[in-house]
């Protein structure tokens, strides 16, 4: 059966075949081997440490100074031989790409849909039969603007329900009041109709009730 594991040439860790980088040290696995590396030489420091301890113990126990020196020299020579053997073991070449590549770009955020009604429509002058002789041009524009706002609120309510937030509700209430005031109170009916339709399309109808009260009890 084929070997389904590869071994990192840097740290010897086991990885899945096809992996690009070592899961332990992050080294590039393109030059990895399917043969598990031998770790026998890791035991050398332990073995020579034990041997050094034995030699040291013997040196302490031996009463003959000359023999103790000879044993000590042998121990030092053995220790140095171990160091030479460890140094002679070839170390794996360092990887050029030790750390996996980090993406430099993030996915674009998903756009969030916003309400189709973002601002009060600009009042457009229209001619109403029989009203020219009763209203000035400015007053007529105010009435026409209030009618268009009413129609816009009705459309929002029918298509989306109560979607206007607190900020939008307060802005529209203020706009309706300004148009009502600029008409010198002559567009009272249109202002109340616009406010009532705004109330149906707003998530904060209590704010609209305050403005309805102000219009109904205005002193124009």
Q: Per residue in 139-170, pLDDT tens?
A: 999 999 999 999 999 999 999 999 999 999 99
Given a contact cutoff of 8 angstroms between Cβ atoms, the answer to whether 125 and 143 are in contact is no
Domain match, 145 and 212 both: yes
Name the strand (E) or helix (H) holding 49: helix 44-61
pLDDT band at 127 (very low <50, low <70, confident <90, very high): very low
pLDDT band at 88 (very low <50, low <70, confident <90, very high): low
Region class of 21: left (phi > 0), else alpha (psi between -120 and 50), else beta: beta
| pLDDT greater at residue 160 or residue 57 | 160
On whether residue 69 sits in a domain, the answer given is yes
- Cα(164)–Cα(115) distance, rounded to whole angstroms? 8
- CB-based contacts of 121, cutoff 8 Å, min separation 6: 145, 148, 149, 152
The residues with which 5 forms a beta bridge, in sequence order, are: 16
The pLDDT value given to residue 175: 94
Among candidate residues 54, 72, 88, the one where a domain is terminated: 88
pTM of the model: 0.41
On whether residue 127 sits in a domain, the answer given is no
- Cα(141)–Cα(3) distance, rounded to whole angstroms? 84
| pLDDT greater at residue 15 or residue 156 | 156
| pLDDT greater at residue 162 or residue 31 | 162
Among candidate residues 51, 71, 88, the one where a domain is terminated: 88
- Residue 75 belongs to domain spanning: 40-88
- State the average pLDDT over residues 197-204: 94
When divided into structural domains, the chain yields a total of 2
């Amino acid at each position: 059966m084929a070997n389904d594991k590869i071994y990192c040439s840097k740290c010897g860790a086991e990885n899945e075949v096809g992996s690009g980088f070592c899961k332990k040290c992050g080294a590039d696995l393109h030059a990895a081997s399917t043969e598990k590396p031998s770790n026998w030489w890791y035991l050398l420091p332990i073995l020579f440490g034990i041997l050094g301890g034995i030699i040291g113990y013997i040196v302490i126990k031996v009463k003959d100074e000359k023999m103790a020196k000879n044993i000590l020299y042998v121990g030092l020579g053995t220790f140095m031989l171990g160091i030479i053997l460890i140094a002679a073991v070839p170390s794996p070449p360092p990887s050029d790409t030790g750390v996996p590549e980090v993406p430099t770009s993030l996915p674009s955020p998903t756009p969030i849909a916003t309400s189709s009604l973002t601002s009060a429509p600009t009042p457009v002058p229209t001619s109403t039969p029989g009203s020219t002789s009763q209203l000035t041009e400015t007053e007529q524009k105010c009435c026409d603007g209030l009618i268009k706002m009413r129609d816009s609120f009705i459309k929002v309510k029918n298509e989306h329900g109560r979607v206007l937030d607190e900020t939008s509700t307060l802005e529209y209430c203020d706009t309706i009041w300004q148009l009502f005031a600029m008409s010198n109170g002559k567009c009272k009916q249109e202002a109340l109709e616009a406010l009532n339709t705004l109330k149906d399309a707003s998530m904060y109808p209590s704010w609209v009730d305050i403005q309805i009260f102000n219009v109904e009890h205005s002193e124009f």
